[in-house]
Amino acid sequence: MSDALLITGAGQLLTLRGRGARRGKALSALGIIRDGALLIRDGLIVAVGTTKHIEALRESRGAEKLDLAGRVVLPGFVDSHTHLVHAASRAEEYELKIRGASYEEIARKGGGILNSVRKLRAATAEALEARALGALEQFAACGTTTIEAKSGYGLDVASELKILSLHRRLAARQPIEVCSTFLGAHVVPAEYRGETDGAERYIRLLTETLIPEVAHGGLAEFCDVFCDRGAFTREQTRRILSTGMEFGLAPRLHAEQLSHTGATQLAVSLGAASCDHLEQVNRADIAALGKSKTVATLLPGCDFHLGLKKYAPARALIEADAIVALATDYNPGTSPTVSMAMILSLACSQLRMTPAEAICAATINGAYALRREREIGSLEAGKLADLAVFEVADYREIPYYFGMNVCAMTLKRGRVIYAAD
Ligand code: NIG
Ligand code: FE
């Protein structure tokens, strides 16, 4: 008996076929097959084409069948920037912000990231796991099949290792792939503030103790730094990321979110996997990204949630040939959403990306940002059978219906991990 799955009748099957990351005009090429079908075996895609063609294949005989009755199929979303593990919401700060306090004012008074650090340190590993599992179920329900997850709400040795170990446990306990990033350099923790050399002492803890431990334990693939006003300077960022690289952790950065620091140029010069946010980039930064392999990851959920008017210059980045990706930045302070479809809606209405560009940015370019473009991000023979089915007749309706979940089914490695009732 065959263990193959034959999916037929996709009104539009968005293959996103083609090699590697997408830039410029290639960002619009969805490789759509009408009345599309896929043959899957052992979690991998064996063949992609029209229903007529794939049904006629000898390998399709005896396969279990799933007919999609005209629904739209695309590669599962690859959410390349999340802060998955945190203890609680910051709804109280949300209200303060609505009443006029800025994100940075709240942070200066000990709220913001430090608020989440206090909550995380007080939480049990079981409570953190339960919350993260709940979020992962929601990611699956929204069509996401791979996420990146950052530490960064622990900021001491035990708490950071607790988060990173949880990433590993979560990866083993549920189907969504979790790529782990060490973000010990989120901000300088409270106990190191108030002394002139506090930041320096904390950076030494990161470079001399934490990065070596994380690397030796195989607890992360990437090292990230929040390079911004109120967090880490460009020179501090360079030191931390360089140490990470010596230990085999690939760099990625939070860059030019609240102020311009030069983090983008640093990212490009280090060959970082991505630099994320980019609301404050200048023309030279845009040009540098256009010539580099560092992905420009845009996180419009932050500006939306914080009520900020200045979004990242997506059009200029696309025109300059930068590799643009989109991600949720799921976190309790600036972007409490797991919905990539909502991010697509914001990318279209606020960043003026077309639905096709936004879908490429949320799949194949997200995969490239996580250095997984050979395995995921498009629907092609040999890749993982990670896909999302939407209850729409046209892919443009995915961003069009904003704030609604039109995901009908999600498959990870050929297995149904979510089905709407
Ligand atoms: O990506 N900018 C830094 N880190 C997060 C926010 C973290 C928080 O406020 O808890 C971000 O926006
Ligand atoms: Fe972030």
Number of residues written out for the chain: 421
**CA 7–ligand 1 middle distance (angstroms):** 39
pLDDT in single tens digits along all 421 residues of the chain: 458 999 999 999 999 999 889 999 999 999 999 999 999 999 999 999 999 999 999 999 999 999 999 999 999 999 999 999 999 999 999 999 999 999 999 999 999 999 999 999 999 999 999 999 999 999 999 999 999 999 999 999 999 999 999 999 999 999 999 999 999 999 999 999 988 999 999 999 999 999 999 999 999 999 999 999 999 999 999 999 999 999 999 999 999 999 999 999 999 999 999 999 999 999 999 999 999 999 999 999 999 999 999 999 999 999 999 999 999 999 999 999 999 999 999 999 999 999 999 999 999 999 999 999 999 999 999 999 999 999 999 999 999 999 999 999 999 999 999 999 8
Q: Give CA–CA dist 139/66, Å, rounded.
A: 23
Predicted local distance difference test score (pLDDT) of residue 246: 98
Predicted local distance difference test score (pLDDT) of residue 3: 87
Ligand 1 contact, 224 CB (< 6 A): no
Predicted local distance difference test score (pLDDT) of residue 299: 98
For 28-46, b/e burial (b = at least 16 CB within 10 A) is: ebbebbebbbbbbbeeebb
Instruction: List Cβ neighbours of 340 (8 Å cut-off, separation of 6 or more).
Output: 77, 79, 142, 143, 144, 326, 327, 328, 362
Predicted local distance difference test score (pLDDT) of residue 1: 44
Domains of the chain: 4-75+379-419 (2.30.40.10), 78-369 (3.20.20.140)
Predicted local distance difference test score (pLDDT) of residue 2: 56
- State the closest ligand 1 atom to the C-alpha of 90, by its place in the atom list counted from 1: 10
Q: Give CA–CA dist 127/172, Å, rounded.
A: 17
**CA 88–ligand 1 middle distance (angstroms):** 14
Ligand 1 contact, 151 CB (< 6 A): no
- Please give the C-alpha separations between residue 321 and each of 290, 295, 296, 299, 360, in angstroms, as whole numbers: 5, 11, 10, 18, 14
DSSP label at residue 130: H
- Please give the C-alpha separations between residue 82 and each of 49, 179, 334, 348, 384, in angstroms, as whole numbers: 33, 10, 11, 21, 22
Predicted local distance difference test score (pLDDT) of residue 225: 98
Among 237, 282, 222, 236, smallest CA distance to 256 is for 282
pTM of the model: 0.98
Ligand 1 contact, 162 CB (< 6 A): no
